[in-house]
Amino acid sequence: MEDNPFIQKMLSYGEQGWELALSWLTSPAAWSQFALLLVAFGLAWLLSRRINRALRGLLTPAEDADNLLATARRFVLRFLPLMLPLLAYVFTAVGEQVVRSMFDSGAVIAFGKRVFLFLAARILVQRVITDPFLKLLGKFVLIPIAAIYALGLLDTVSEALTEFQVGVGNISFSLMSLVRGLIAGSLLFWLGRWSNDQSAAMISKQRELRPATRQLAVKTVEIIIFGAAFLLLMNIMGISLTSLAVLGGAIGVGLGFGLQKIASNFISGVILLLEGQATVGDFVELDGGEAGTIVKMTARAIILETYDGRWIVVPNEDFIVTRVINYSDQGSANRYEAEFSVSYDTDINTVPAIVEAAVQGHPDVLEEPYPADCELRGFGDSGIDFSVEFWVNGIDDGRHKYTSDVLFLIWNALKDNGIQIPYPHRVVEFKGEMPK
């Protein structure tokens, strides 16, 4: 076990650390630097208390304030816990310059300065950052890096990671590039997601644009943001885009045959957004019988919500290659019919005027493009059949029950005018004597 190179290296680092600690304990210059560290920390503590008290009184907004200025002031207040370690870092840096000019040595105070920076990183993660992803990244990335820097081993660790090379095909990069890429990729992913959410919210507020145009703008911005983030990440990792293009081309040819449907649905989604024939909020019915309100349009599919609360995921391609009935395209009106019958004893010449007046009294029945129209449809077995046509802005289902309302109006109007609605009658003839 003593022959293990890693253990030998750790033992040598331990011996160097012990010798360094002994030299600090027996050196007058080291004791003076310890004293300066205590003075710098005490001065930073006193000054930070005064500054924090003044800034809190100046920047704290009213509890019910929710404007942009109040939000900015609350954001600044979140960083006040960093005041103490940062002031200690600044005062220690000044003291380091003084010590180096006097003793030509500043290892102790430089170590203290790095410790204050580590404390600042720890406070930043624990008390300042609120985003769960950034807090997780700070806990497992920022704090360990700050700890390694505080121990003075950052250059050693960086050299070891840089020397370790990783190769994939024609692409070769160091382990340091991989670590740097993971850190940068995580930050770019969070920044891309945040900027995409902000841009989507801003575009959604532009009510002068058609819903389809807004959806297309949101998708375009999303592609631009994450495309730029990917290119920037490749540059940070030091990967040649030429080599990546060759590798990507080979993978693309292999996966292209299996991803034809995905590509078709993506292109179909772009076409739908450009044409605007279907957008969020429209009630549509597909050739296969699926019907519902469009609640979401993604790069691959459109999600319909039926009136019984189910969500149906329909591939974008189905909206291109099959027939689609859009009942609410640009808010156009829809026509419905309500059928009813009257008794044969009725003067049918009076029925249309009575029913049309009653139906037109409904607040949602339109005058344009046509008012309510009552038509004679036929002479049935039990009564005379009529039908009234009416136009409304909306769908006769879900929250709106236009046909039901119209039938109530017809019933009440006919009853008020003494017109009977028949029920089935049957005439039975007996030949010969009546049965006993």
Would you give the distance in Å from CA 152 to the centre of its chain?
A: 41
Q: Which fold has domain 333-416?
A: Alpha-Beta Plaits (3.30.70)
184, 233 in Cβ contact below 8 A? yes
pLDDT band at 18 (very low <50, low <70, confident <90, very high): low
Q: What local confidence, expressed as pLDDT, does residue 387 receive?
A: 92
CB burial class (10 A; 0-12, 13-18, 19+) of residue 141?
A: middle
pLDDT tens digits, 410-421: 999 999 988 888
Q: Any idea which architecture 262-329 has in CATH? A: Roll (2.30)
Cis preceding linkage at 369, omega within 30? yes
Residues contacting residue 90 through CB under 8 Å, at least 6 positions apart: 44
pLDDT tens digits, 179-236: 777 888 788 788 777 777 777 777 777 766 666 666 667 777 777 777 777 777 777 6
Residue closest to 112 by CA, chosen among 34, 188, 187: 34
Q: What local confidence, expressed as pLDDT, does residue 217 receive?
A: 73
Of 40-54, 323-337, 356-370, the range with the lowest mean pLDDT is: 323-337
Length of the chain: 436
Is pLDDT above 70 for 158?
yes
pLDDT tens digits, 241-274: 665 565 566 556 655 555 677 777 777 777 777 7
Half-sphere exposure of 50 (CA within 13 A, CB side): 6
φ/ψ (deg, to 5) at 365 = -80, 130
**In whole numbers, what is the pLDDT of the chain averaged over residues?**
77
Can you tell me which residue has the tokens 């993971």? 182
Is pLDDT above 50 for 1?
no
Do the first three CATH levels of 262-329 and 333-416 match, i.e. the same topology? no
pTM to 2 decimals? 0.50
> Domain limits of the chain?
5-152, 173-239, 262-329, 333-416
**What is the rounded average pLDDT of the residues 331-351?**
85
